[in-house]
Structure 1
Amino acid sequence: MPALRAKIDALDAELIALLAKRSGLIDQAARIKLREKLPARIDSRVEEVAANASRLATEHGLDPLLADQLWRLMMEHFIAQEERALAKGRT
């Protein structure tokens, strides 16, 4: 069990690093949205990303409902991150 837990912990560290990288990309998106006068939330993009997550989950044998729920939670967080950046950039 300790070896398996170590593998899980290592994978968690990789996931966190990937989320941090995604957060940096969201910061870039916020700068573009500020320049282009786009809103943080673009509903069609939210649905596209959620559908992609569900499809990829299915392809990889993961429950697509789990992927959909996780991605929607993540997107809400990152939309809020963009909204803060947009508000800051307008002042």
Structure 2
Amino acid sequence: MKKEKVESLEQARTQIDQIDASLIELISARQFYVDQAVRFKRTVQDVQSPERAEDVVRKVRESAQAHGVDPNLVESIYREMMHHFIQRELKEIRP
């Protein structure tokens, strides 16, 4: 996404609102693929996969640093999102 200076608070808020809409779209897409992935998982261990979670966290922290974003903030957001999706997946595989 191209970042441009704005000339007013209204312009900044408009850009923030557009980014928020894009973030929701991306989270929706992530959820769609999480829902697809659960079809290939058979056990609670497959769903929880701490190794995969830590790999994702490592990658997003590195990406955050490269983009000048606080990696602790990004990690916190991702851990919350992954926790939510894991709970969603567990509902699918548990009787």
Q: TM-score when scaled to structure 1? A: 0.88
**Residue identity in the other structure for 1:68:** E
- Mapped partners of 2:16, 2:91: distance in 1: 33
| Partner of residue 56, structure 1 | 63
Question: Does 2:51 correspond to 1:44?
Answer: yes
User: Identity across aligned pairs (percent)?
Assistant: 35
The number of residue pairs the alignment matches comes to: 86
| Partner of residue 17, structure 1 | 25
RMSD over aligned CA atoms reads 1.2
Runs ≥4 residues deviating over 3 A: none
Question: For structure 2, which runs of at least 5 residues remain unmatched after alignment?
Answer: 1-8
The higher relative CO (CA closer than 8 Å, separation ≥ 6) is in 1
- Mapped partners of 1:2, 1:15: distance in 2: 20
Question: For structure 1, which runs of at least 5 residues remain unmatched after alignment?
Answer: none
- Residues 22-58 of structure 1: CA deviation (Å, up to 9, x unaligned): 0000001111113xx4631001011101111101000
- Mapped partners of 1:56, 1:85: distance in 2: 31
**Residue identity in the other structure for 1:65:** N
Give the alignment partner of residue 66 of structure 1, picking from 69, 73, 78: 73
- Mapped partners of 1:56, 1:39: distance in 2: 26
The structure richer in helix per residue is 1
| Partner of residue 85, structure 2 | 78
- Mapped partners of 1:72, 1:61: distance in 2: 19
- Mapped partners of 2:83, 2:30: distance in 1: 13
Give the alignment partner of residue 41 of structure 2, picking from 24, 33, 56: 33
